[in-house]
Chain A
Amino acid sequence: MTGDVAILRPRGGGEMLARRLVGFVRVLRDNGFPVGLRETIDGLRAARQAELGHRDGFRWALRCLLCASRTDWRRFDEIFDLYWRGHGKLQEARVSDQGSRKASAEDIDAGRPTGPVLGVDSGQGADAEGGEGRRGGASLAESLAAADLRHVNDPDELARIGDLTERFAARMKYRLTRRERRRRRGRRLDLREVIHRSIRFGGTPMQLAYRKRWPKPLRLVVILDASGSMNLYSTFFVRFIRGVLDNFRQAEAFVFHTRLIHISAAMRERDTEKALERMSLMAAGWAGGTRIGDCLAAFNRNYAASAITSRTAVMIVSDGYDTGSPEILGAEMARLKRRAKRIVWLNPMIAWRDYAPVAQGMAVALPHVDLFAPAHNLESLAALEPYLAKL
């Protein structure tokens, strides 16, 4: 902090103000605002010219300077008041319990820190082993790939499943891009290049140049059922989601049980400790009943506009056992279908002997689903690859 002030001081008077402002920016930073020295300097410039006698003028200036998102915008006033009005109450100026900007208060419906902690990779294991370990992993992968995910409990095996899934997700994306590129090659003339090349022929376009369309990455939205009936599979799919988020350029992930929760930000958290903390906060209600229809309604209402584009595939992972009303589920599925390019419904139960989609929820949802597939082991997930590649 002293360093910051030293930099600010030569730029003009008002050392007291500079010191206070540096402190304020620090409090904001602790609250997850993306602000740094540059903002402090700009803030000081703005403050000198804003009518300082007018406290609100100062507040307005800092607000549009230091906020970068709607969440910041909403929280700013409270933090401002705590800092500039309640002198010396710095420690209390941490508004809301969440430290990170990305997980806005709306994203995480404040939950009790109860419930099982999700299986997030603690960073050790396969990665560290290097080249030799990879070969060993491959043969093990084979045996694991066919195992029903229900029967996998050992933490080491779980970690390997995580790695394997990440590889699958990576492969899915890679193929997608390459195929697009090859197929679309040379559709349109690149006039700019044609003219360039024609100059040396005195203006006759002898050599043509084509444009290949830029390959567009597939967007994937995964909506995972984390209710009691899916409990056996949830840990696995959480890993799958992590793999998807890491490997697809544009992906979002949601979890639902009785409520819908946006977990992308928490899942992307690099710091395992923090991720665990954030996940456990959200996990209230984990492995309870299911209200698929209501949760999809929440998705359609709050997230669909931003998460879904015309080339988004929605992947719902659920067994379709719904305690809510099937009418709502049907209507919301229809709405989702209008927005998304494809809906893939993965149901771990399909592989069970004698399973037919009789769960009432499943029956009303099925007409809107493009692909209804099993997802009880890694092989079944890998079998999706060619389908997703065609999207």
Chain B
Amino acid sequence: MTLDREEVLKRLGAVGYVAGPQLATAIVLMRQLSRPLLIEGEAGVGKTEVAKALAEVLETPLIRLQCYEGLDASAAVYEWDYQRQLLAIKIWESEDRTAEEKERHIFDEDFLLKRPLLKAISMEKPPVLLVDEIDRADEEFEAYLLEVLSDFQISIPELGTVTASAIPYVVLTSNGTRELSDALRRRCLYHYVDLPSEAKEMRIVTARLPGIENALVAQVVRFVQALRKEDLHKKPGVAETLDWAAALVGIGVKDLRTDPQALHESLMCLLKTQEDQAAVPIEVVERLAGKAG
């Protein structure tokens, strides 16, 4: 299946992801050069969504590996199913077999629990592998991942080497918790996701919440865009905008200017720290709502 940029853009739009031509180009290249795509950007701009949308566009499963500090091979690559192995040993105890046979039996692929990385490279049809928040994993894991991403093979001492039958589409996201190694950066294609412009954010809200009225969308987006300019510690991302818009529809708000009190209360969808909530009192809400309308 060859996809050019326009086709990718169209298909992303069809699954509800509003993308720019730059991202579409990155996806085309990613398929063409078989290289992973590293996506960076502030929290809540929809980095993870790219992978989900890509999986839908390519009609292939999404395998997600959430990284965290201390992530190790048994959680990311594979693990033996110890309980079943122990049981199998017990069952085979009375059987008249040699120790080698028994060993071969319990280290059979049946007893192997495939974790995301191994799962991704052993699939017939190339899946989308999302390595989420790679910056949270430690450097050892990053180095290991780099190795997997260049060779697409994993060696299991008891079984041998598993080589990828199809090269998965790898998407890595990073929030910048830790600086990534230059080697990993060079291995990947790069895309930086900015907070969307007003027009783009409106398109996103409309795409995600099809039932919402256009007038409200415009107000909501203008309000959030203005709110981002306020002095906040955690600026609301696109995910927050969507939550808030959905909440407003849910509580039946048609116009932001009618009920400042309810509006102020609903801000918990946008402002996620107590400090930020204190920084936006009801007067500010009224002012922003007035401007947005």
Contact = CB atoms under 8 A, between A and B. Distances in A.
A57 B5 contact: yes
A306 B178 contact: yes
A50 B182 CA distance: 27
Interface string A302-315: 00011001100000
B234 to A, nearest CB: 10
B80 A60 contact: no
Interface residues of B, number: 40
A136 interface: no
B222 to A, nearest CB: 25
Contacts of B82: 191-192, 194-195
Contacts of A35: 186
A195 B86 contact: yes
Interface stretch (A68-76, A137-145, A383-391): A68-76
A310 B85 CA distance: 37
A67 interface: yes
A199 B102 contact: yes
A200 B106 CA distance: 13
B139 to A, nearest CB: 8
B251 to A, nearest CB: 33
Contacts of B192: 67, 70, 73-74
Contact of B21 (A34, A56, A65, A305): A56
B32 A49 contact: yes
Nearest to A39: B186
A325 interface: no
A198 interface: yes
Give the dominant DSSP class at B's interface.
helix
A52 interface: no
Interface string B11-35: 0000000000110011011001101
Interface in B108-122: none
A60 to B, nearest CB: 4
A203 B90 contact: yes
Contacts of B37: 64
Nearest to B38: A68
Interface of A: 34-35, 39, 42, 45-46, 49-51, 56-57, 60-61, 63-65, 67-70, 72-74, 191-192, 194-195, 198-200, 202-203, 301, 305-306, 309-310
27 contacts: A34-B186, A42-B33, A45-B33, A46-B29, A46-B32, A50-B25, A51-B4, A56-B21, A60-B21, A60-B22, A63-B22, A65-B190, A67-B190, A67-B192, A69-B185, A70-B176, A73-B190, A194-B82, A195-B85, A199-B89, A199-B99, A200-B99, A202-B89, A202-B93, A306-B176, A306-B177, A306-B179
Interface of B: 4-5, 21-22, 25-26, 28-29, 32-33, 35, 37, 40, 69, 80, 82, 85-86, 89-90, 92-93, 99, 102-103, 106, 175-179, 182, 185-186, 188-192, 233
